A and B are shown apart, each in its own frame.
Chain A
Amino acid sequence: MIAIGLEGSANKLGVGIISHPSPGKPAQVLSNVRHTFNAPPGEGFLPKDTAKHHRSWFIQLVKQAMREAGVKIGDIDCVCYTKGPGMGAPLQSVAVGARMLSLLWGKELVGVNHCVGHIEMGREITGAENPVVLYVSGGNTQVIAYAEQRYRIFGEALDIAVGNCLDRFARTLEISNDPAPGYNIEQLAKSGKVLLDLPYAVKGMDCSFAGILSSIDLLAAELKANPEWKDPLTGEAITTADLCFSLQETIYAMLVEITERAMAHVGSNQVLIVGGVGCNERLQEMMGLMARDRGGSVFATDERFCIDNGIMIAEAGLKAFETGFRTPLEESTCTQRFRTDEVFVKWRN
C-alpha cells in the first residue's frame, strides 16, 4: 500500500510518500520533500504568515513529491494529514488541501497525530523495538512509553517546550533562524567553555523551561550591558557562546534525567529521540552516556526524519489505515491540542 502524508503544524510544510510493500517488510520512503518558513532574526514565526507560506508551497511540494516517487494517483491508497497538535491556521491550511486531494482523487482521508507520526517514523527508521521515547521539538517535550495500545506520556514540560526555550533565546540573541534557530545555538555552543549558573527545573517526571528562559535572557542582557564581563573563577571573558553552552548543558541534563527516570520506571534500556531538537548532537551525546551507563543505547534519526516532515504522517497514517482507520470528511478538522495518548494504537499489540 502507498500513502501520501501532508504535514504543516509548525513552520515546516512537508509532503511524503511511503510504501508498505508487504506485511513484515520494512517501509520504503518513495519521496520526502519539505520547505521551511523562517522568520527574520529576532522574530518568531506567526500563525498567519506561516499559513500563508504553507498555502503558497502546497501545490508545488505535492507535485514534486509525486514526481520524485514516480507514482500516479491510482497508486495511492489514502491521503494522510496532520490533524494536530500544532498551530491552528497552518494546520487548517494544509487540511483544506488534503480534503481537496481526497475528494478529487477519490481517496480516503486519515487524520494523524503529529507526535505519533514522529514516534512511528522513528521506530520504522531505527528499528528500535520498544524504547522509551523522548519527543523534543519547538512545540512539544514529552517522555513517552508504549503500553497496551497507547503511547503513554510519562513526563512532559509543564510550561514551554525545550525547543521553544531555544528558539526564543535565539530571538534574544538575534541570530539567524535559518536553517533553524536551535541549530545555530548548537553551533555557537560548540565554542562555549564557561558554565554559568542557571536554574535546574526537574519536577519529578516533568520539567519546566520558562524560568530558565527568563534567567538566560537576563544573563544575555547583562552581557550586552557589560561586554567586559569575566567569569569570576577563571577570569575568562564571557561570550554569547558561553551563554548558549550553559543553556544547552542545563536543559539537556534535565531531559536526560527525566528520560532516565522513565527508563527505570518502565524497565527499558533503549531510548529513541524524535522531534527537531533530537537533531542536536550534544543531546544525543549526553543521552548516549546515560544509556550506556545503564547498558542500553540511544536511537536517533537524521534531519530528514527528526525535523517535521510529511513522510512520518504518511507512515503513521498508513499504519492506521491498514487497521481499518478512516477519517470521514466531516470529521477532517484540525485541533491545536491533541494528546499523544488519545490515539488508539491498533497496529501494535
Chain B
Amino acid sequence: MTTQVQDPDFPCSLVIDLPLPTSRLASAASQALRVDKELSPLVRRSFYTLPAAVSNPAEDATLVHTSEETILRTEYKATTNRMLRVAVNGFMESLSVVLGVMEELDIDVLGVDSGKE
C-alpha cells in the first residue's frame, strides 16, 4: 500500500516492505544499508522504518505495541525499468547479508558473555 506521488523524472518505482521481529532490527538494517550511496544518478532510494499495522487484535490482555517501528520500507525510483531492476537486485544482495547477520550472528545466538570470571 503505497501513497507515493509519481515523480516524472523517475517514473519507474518500487516499494519494498520488510517486516522484522523488532524495531531494533529494523533500525539496524536501515542504518547499515543507507550508508552506501546509490551508484547511478538515474536511481533514487530512501529508507524508512514504520510501525506494523495491528491486523489481529490480541485476545488476551497483553498490550500490542503499535508504536514499534518494525517494518523496513525501502523506496526505489529510477529513470528506466532496467535501472530499477539493477538497483533493486543490488539491494536484495546487501539485504541477504543484513538478514544473515541478524539470524546467525546476533547477541542471542553467539552470546555476549564468555562465562569465565
Chain A residues near B (Cβ < 8 Å) = 51-52, 55, 58-59, 62-63, 66, 70-75, 92-93, 95-97, 99-101, 103-105, 329-330, 332-334
User: How many inter-chain contacts with C-beta < 8 Å in the A-B complex?
Assistant: 81
> Could you tell me if B100 and A59 are in contact, using CB atoms closer than 8 angstroms?
yes
Among B93, B102, B104, B113, contact of A52 (Cβ-Cβ < 8 Å): B93
Per-residue contact bits, chain B 43-68, to A (CB 8 Å; 1 contact, 0 not) = 00000000000000000000000000
* Interface secondary structure of A, over-half rule: helix
Instruction: Please determine whether A105 and B93 come into contact, CB atoms closer than 8 angstroms.
Output: no
Main secondary structure of the interface of B (DSSP, over half): helix
A119 to nearest B CB, angstroms?
27
Interface size on B, residues (CB 8 A): 27
Scoring B residues 75 to 117 as 1 if CB is less than 8 Å from chain A, else 0, what string do you get? 0000000000000000001101110111011110011111100
Known A72-B113, A104-B107: A55·B97 in contact at CB below 8 Å? yes
Best-buried of A101, A103, A105 by chain B (most CB within 10 Å): A103
CA–CA, A55 and B29, complex, Å: 16
A59 touches B101 (CB 8 A): yes
* Whole-angstrom CA separation of A33 from B98 in the bound complex: 21
B1-9, B10-18, B30-38 - interface stretch: B30-38
Chain A: CB-nearest residue to B100: A59
Q: Whole-angstrom distance between the alpha carbons of A176 and B32 in the complex? A: 37
Given A63-B104, A329-B35, the answer on whether A75 and B114 have CB atoms closer than 8 Å is yes
Tell me, in angstroms, the Cα distance from A325 to B112 when the chains sit together. 24
A330 touches B112 (CB 8 A): no
Q: Which chain B residue shows the least CB distance to A54?
A: B97
Contact status of A96 and B111, CB under 8 A, knowing A58-B100, A101-B101, A103-B31: no
- Knowing that A73-B110, A73-B111, A103-B32 are A-B contacts, what are 20 other residue pairs whose CB atoms are under 8 Å apart, sorted by A's residue number? A51-B93, A58-B97, A58-B100, A59-B101, A72-B111, A72-B115, A75-B114, A93-B93, A96-B32, A97-B101, A99-B32, A99-B35, A100-B98, A103-B27, A103-B28, A104-B102, A104-B107, A329-B31, A329-B35, A333-B36
Q: Which residues of B contact A97 (CB under 8 A)?
A: 97, 101
Chain A, residue nearest B28 (CB): A103
Asked whether A330 lies within 8 Å of B35 as measured between CB atoms, the reply is yes
A100 touches B112 (CB 8 A): no
Whether A101 contacts B98 by the Cβ 8 Å rule is: no
Would you give the shortest CB distance from A186 to chain B, in whole angstroms? Answer: 35
Contact partner of A96 (CB less than 8 A), chosen from B36, B112, B113, is B36
**A55 to chain B: which residues have CB within 8 Å?**
93, 96-97
Say whether, besides A71-B114, A75-B114, A95 and B106 are in contact (CB < 8 Å): no
CA distance A332 to B35 in the complex (A): 7
A281 CA to B93 CA, complexed, in Å: 39
- Whether B94 lies near A96 (C-beta < 8 A) is yes
**A73 with B107: CB separation less than 8 A:** yes
Which 9 A-B pairs rank lowest in CB-CB distance, beginning with the nearest?
A: A99-B32, A100-B101, A103-B28, A74-B112, A72-B114, A59-B100, A72-B111, A73-B112, A100-B32
Query: Given the complex, which residues of B lie within 8 Å of A101, measured CB to CB?
Result: 101, 105
